[in-house]
Amino acid sequence: MTPLKASGRRLQRLLLLVVFFLVFGYLSYPSLSRSQGWQEAETYEEYVQTSFDWASRPMKNPIPESSLIQLPEGPPRELPRIQHAFTKDELDKAHNETQFQRRDAVRKAAQKSWKSYRAYAWRRDELAPQSLIGKDSFAGWGATLVDSLDTLWIMGLREEFDEAVRAVGAIDWNKASSSDCSLFETNIRYLGGLLSAYDLSGQEILLKKAVELGDMLFAGFDTPNHLPANSYNFKKAKSGELKASSRQSLAVLGSMSLEFTRLSQLTGDPKYYTVVEQLKRGLEKTQDQTNLPGLWPKYIDLIEGTRPSSDTLFTLGAQADSAYEYLSKTYLLLGGLDPSYETMHIKAMDAAAKHLLFRPMLPSGDDDTYAGSPPPDILFSGNAVSTQRDKSELQPRVQHLGCFAGGMFALGGKLFDRPDHVQIGEQLARGCAWAYEAFSTGIMPEVSELVPCEKKADKDSDSRLAQCPWNETKYRLKKKKAAALSRTSSYTDNTNPNPNSRASQPNDHKTPLLPKPFTKISNPRYLLRPEAIESLFILYRITGKKDLLDIAWRMFSAITKATETKSAFSAIEDVHTANSGQPTIKMDSMESFWMAETLNIFGQGTEKEKEDLRSYK
């Protein structure tokens, strides 16, 4: 096992928390007792072995022992300090009675969510928070159960955690609710949840289940070129008949390095690290060969390996996001012993700043929007289309998924001594926070479009990130053009296919006006996502700026107000109602990341353990 730098197990746990969005500290809650009426726990054996031994399955395309790649050896590098050096005065001001009350509010939301999951959807993938039934969207092994383990531990819910561990110990990966699963989703929700909870608690049952699952997922690499088959059919996996798709998303290829690397660290078995290291080398080789050097297209051609494809769309959003996010975090997990992750991260961030980031055109201080104040210093991440080398056309389409980019830029900026990236990270994080407050519910939509500041023809690419004056005529033209594309929607556009959504119903009320400079809402939903609060939390820990705590609290208050049901919290159809008093339409969905990430990170942002803020790099 590659050694991890002192201080011992606490730092090992920290590294896994960094990996899984819980960056730079612990949240210490008082021990909590169960509420009255809690359903009595079933009795499970501590550990029940999965009924099919994936580790003993003969590989049809074996990796020769001589080709196994060992983890980097040697003492970890002395890495730069990540966290702001909080003074005692700063800590006293930031962690006061108000923050403790906020912490308790987050804890109550988590308790409410878990209690209903336990009562109505126990061991199912997710709770339907209105109909109060269980749903299986991820093979039926209990995605919320596994994904929420670290949240239960961190929030001090020890009885609930112990009960959940007993249930996890009985999971049989050979018994699924479907004939196949997504390799990507199974890795990040299940394997990631098991590893982070094991590193926090030291419960050996969790490591045993992680190894079982890791061996099952490893079979997804039993293909002729050892590239992963994301569409993982259990029957074909057992017989070695899986094949990698000829066209795979970047996220699938780049989002297993953390979990598989950690599994090799914990077990001493290099096979897991070998397959993700091979993927990394393929991505490294092609990084400068794409139309936009430094970035990979949204999809990669796998016919002859990880070569650049003819795809022309580049993004930090869906189907690409975590491939970029994992670069700096895997570097950190390996103790800085693989410099290629640093090189790849810096290349990617510089290229993203050049081609994907933009500053929105904002109303001037004379506009009522800001009541005489200057426009905020914010950036967003969009898409880029490139049909020829090093030339791109910006699509100013903002995805909630892309809001993680602020934290990614800032974390890498601290790790790799790029203060310009830290600044960009803060501008991106504040951009998503600004978008939240721009809408009547206080929540930003899943996908929207704005008017960007344009790059000046005689200036370098950074001119698109500079302030530009408000142009009302230009804004009206852009908005009119967007409206012309979708006349039938309550908004300028709505790609939501749900026939029961507000946008599909007769519009009996006044159509809500889009806040400037938004021209289009392509998807008005909010799915309980964590990306915006994740970036705010990381920026607070890096910069120490106290106003970020207040911004985060307004975000939490808006989310819970708009999504709360009688028993839990639900994704909503529409964040932009005609007025703030209009009730939101619930989607009856509460995915595992609500407990595992969103509430977890909100809780981390209100933690009270002052010393922990200064204990880690």
Give the active site residues.
Answer: 185, 321, 446, 531
Residue with tokens 């790029």: 418
Phi and psi for 299 in degrees, rounded to 5? -125, 145
Q: Report d(CA 353, CA 424) in Å as an integer.
A: 8
| Residue whose token pair is 């910006």 | 394
Which amino acid, residue 142? G
**Cα 490 from Cα 582, distance rounded (Å):** 15
Distance from C-alpha of 98 to C-alpha of 2, rounded to nearest angstrom: 42
Q: What share of the chain is helix, strand, coil (3-state, %, to 5)?
A: 45, 10, 45
Place of tokens 């370098």: 460
Nearest to 149 by CA among 90, 98, 210: 210
Q: What's the CA gap between 532 and 593, in Å, rounded?
A: 13
Q: Which stretch of DSSP H or E encloses residue 536?
A: helix 531-543
> Please, where are the H alpha helices in 447-493?
472-484
What CA dihedral angle connects 399, 116, 157 and 139, to 10 degrees?
Answer: -60
CA–CA dist 176, 418 (Å, integer): 46
Beta bridge pairs of residue 395: 383
Q: What DSSP string describes 203-229?
A: -HHHHHHHHHHHHHHHGGG-STT----
Whole-angstrom distance, CA of residue 220 vs CA of residue 574: 38
* ∠ CA 546-547-549, rounded to 5°: 75
Contact status, residue 421 vs residue 410, Cβ threshold 8 Å: yes
Which phi and psi angles does 303 have, rounded to 5°? -60, -45
Q: How far is residue 21 CA from its own chain's centroid?
A: 7
What type of residue is 317? G
Measured distance CA(216)–CA(232) in Å, rounded: 10
